[in-house]
Structure 1
Amino acid sequence: MSVPTTPGSAVTDLLGLVALGELLAFERMAGDARLAPDLRRRAALGEMAAAEIANYRRLADRLGALGVAPEEAMAPYVTALQAYHDSTEPRDWAEAVTKAYVGDAITDDFIREIAVALDGPDRELVLDVLHESRYAEFAAAEIRVAVEADPRVADRLSMWARRLVGEALSQAGRVAAADRGALTALIAQGGRVDASALFRQLTAAHTARMAAAGLNN
């Protein structure tokens, strides 16, 4: 069962959530680029940030076409998403790329599972703005380089990744309940009995992702 696209619906709630995520990701990546050890890596993260703000504009334009101000659609999620970024500020380049790899991926998984309940055009838009695989591959490669250079880094980054996923799941729970529980309704319409089933799947995907980057779950 798909959800009709009407102003003030669960659709605009989800578009607002994704738009805010893209906006905050742009701000975070642009800032984290300064942690890069060389210009090549700095440029790579800068390109990722540019893609985020371009995606934000696509989502904001779609909300406007639906008669909803982007800032109003994003407002219910500011506290949860900002809290996640404020509590997971990376200290160095290795932590920055781990956050891009782990945090962005689990967020994408969360959004992807919810988006299946949308009508075609909006579902395609949401899925299209999720992070490209080449960015995840870049981040995973940087993690492996850091571990190869100093194997002791693996334990630190593994602990950091566990903290990231814990914070992400905690804030995802708050997001799912925000703004009249519209996203919880989307989870159910997407075939989930409750949010806990979704979070178990997110955790399983995270475990596989950690192994692929050479980190311990």
Structure 2
Amino acid sequence: MSESPPAPGVVDLLGVLAYAELTGFLRMAEDASRFAPTLTDRAALSDLASTEHAHFRLLSGLLESLGVDPEQAMEPFTAALDDWHVQTAPSDWLEALVKAYAGNGIALDFYREAARQLDPAAQDLVNEVLADGGRSEFAVERVRAAIEADPKVSGRLALWARRLVGEALSQGQRIAAGRPALAAMLVGAHGEDLAEIGRMFARLTEAHGKRMAALGLTPGP
């Protein structure tokens, strides 16, 4: 890692990603305790929560290596991410799984877009954090099994997933609007071109549709 000061937007990206991982850890651990129907399921979701916390520690270490206080880097994003979690609090085990896979997935796609602008060392670490970590296999297997056992749950979960993506895009736009340097990273050489930002969000929505299909759900209108 270079000893020169971080480029504009880099601290914002690492800060929002660090807080996303921290809150992901806390929420998954809570969901495992509240909703998991078996001890095996509780352990599986707890393992994913542990992975989120390990990623948070990696990002905190990277921020510190840049001479940045992790808490100060995360603070601008606490309101938006906390609001997202409040608006998307699951009511049962299947909703928790869909959120862990599809909801968090679109958020990670958002950060992956910006990570393209990082230097190679930081990009490698961020890509490690953004790796699936077994989330898809665990969630997809259980959601598809539940739909097979009771097809009626498909419609409810499809509506839930659309709510997740709507809230995620809303908060993502809120973050981008409030942090111009991060927004510039998201669209790269196009600067703050609104058309390019629209294309970026279209890519995020397309990836979400693929996750919906993997879960056995239809994207809907």
Query: How many positions carry a matched residue from both structures?
Result: 213
How far, CA to CA, are the matches of 1:183 and 1:5 in structure 2? Answer: 19
- Equivalent residue for 1:160? 160
How far has the Cα of 1:157 moved from its partner? Answer: 0.2
Letter in 2 for 1:183: L
Extract unaligned runs of 5+ from structure 1.
Answer: none
- Equivalent residue for 1:196? 198
- Equivalent residue for 1:95? 95
Is the deviation greater in 183-192 or in 122-131?
183-192
CA-atom RMSD, angstroms?
Answer: 1.6
Query: Retained in 2: the 8 A contact 1:32–1:96?
Result: yes
| TM-score of the superposed pair, with normalisation by structure 1 | 0.93
Quick check: 1:64 aligned with 2:61?
A: no
How far, CA to CA, are the matches of 1:7 and 1:201 in structure 2? Answer: 27
How far has the Cα of 1:133 moved from its partner? Answer: 5.1
Q: Can you list the C-alpha shifts for 1:33-89, whole angstroms capped at 9, x where unaligned?
A: 021110111000000001111110111111111111001101111111110001111
- Equivalent residue for 1:170? 170
| TM-score of the superposed pair, with normalisation by structure 2 | 0.92
Letter in 2 for 1:24: T
2:201 aligns to what SS in structure 1? helix
Letter in 2 for 1:13: D
Q: Can you list the C-alpha shifts for 1:152-203, whole angstroms capped at 9, x where unaligned?
A: 0000000000000000000010111223x11111022266843211100111
- Equivalent residue for 2:144? 144
Query: Retained in 1: the 8 A contact 2:80–2:174?
Result: yes
How far, CA to CA, are the matches of 1:88 and 1:189 in structure 2? Answer: 30
How far, CA to CA, are the matches of 2:189 and 2:218 in structure 1? Answer: 31
2:134 aligns to what SS in structure 1? helix
- Equivalent residue for 2:28? 29
